[in-house]
A and B are shown apart, each in its own frame.
Chain A
Amino acid sequence: DTGVSQDPRHKITKRGQNVTFRCDPISEHNRLYWYRQTLGQGPEFLTYFQNEAQLEKSRLLSDRFSAERPKGSFSTLEIQRTEQGDSAMYLCASSLGTLGEQFFGPGTRLTVL
């Protein structure tokens, strides 16, 4: 399967814990995006990378959130000191070039108790 993959698919954690999610984009795609989707809403942009450079961050991305794409391939999204409001589906997408279609992964569903 050469699509976008995300790991884990589900994560349950207690408030205050740190969590890390991984996204593996389609191999030749140079752009990688993170979105957050809460129940009843469309995905909201968090951040994106072009190769290994993080070029834009949404104001939704508080100081507790950090994303990396160290070698321009896979990416990680870490949330520190999780809060109940962080409960959501975290989606990763990748694209090739500036106008390419974004291909989405299956998402990681985070539940903060």
Chain B
Amino acid sequence: AQTVTQSQPEMSVQEAETVTLSCTYDTSESNYYLFWYKQPPSRQMILVIRQEAYKQQNATENRFSVNFQKAAKSFSLKISDSQLGDTAMYFCAFMKPNTGNQFYFGTGTSLTVIP
């Protein structure tokens, strides 16, 4: 079974600063996908960024980037120039393709951006 661990239950960052959320996972698979989802208070989850395990280049989406270390099974999310709207729960998720594509989620990190 796949497990995803987010060791930081809560984090805070000053507006305009940079913050990194960590995620580690455990799998024996070589082909898989990793995701970061954002869940704002009382709102639905939206995709922040995704990474294919076969790609060595780290994914980036505007202010969001990942540091994917396949050998270490680490997948951290860096948020640059933090904005108040970034305040949310952030979930790291693992997906093994062709088995229903079910997601395995971590327990989440609650991020608060302080004005």
Contacts and interface: CB of A to CB of B under 8 A. Distances in A.
B107 A48 contact: no
A43 interface: yes
Interface string A75-92: 000000000000000010
B102 A45 contact: yes
B100 A44 contact: no
A44 B107 CA distance: 10
Range, interface on chain A: 20 to 34
Interface residues of B, number: 24
Q: Which of B44, B46, B47 has the most CB of A within 10 A?
A: B44
A31 interface: yes
B101 A42 contact: no
Contacts, number: 56
A4 B50 CA distance: 20
B3 to A, nearest CB: 11
B91 A101 contact: no
B53 interface: no
A74 interface: no
B44 A40 contact: no
A3 B47 CA distance: 13
Interface string B1-20: 00010000000000000000
Interface of A: 3-4, 31, 33, 35, 40-45, 48, 55-56, 58, 91, 95, 98-99, 101-107
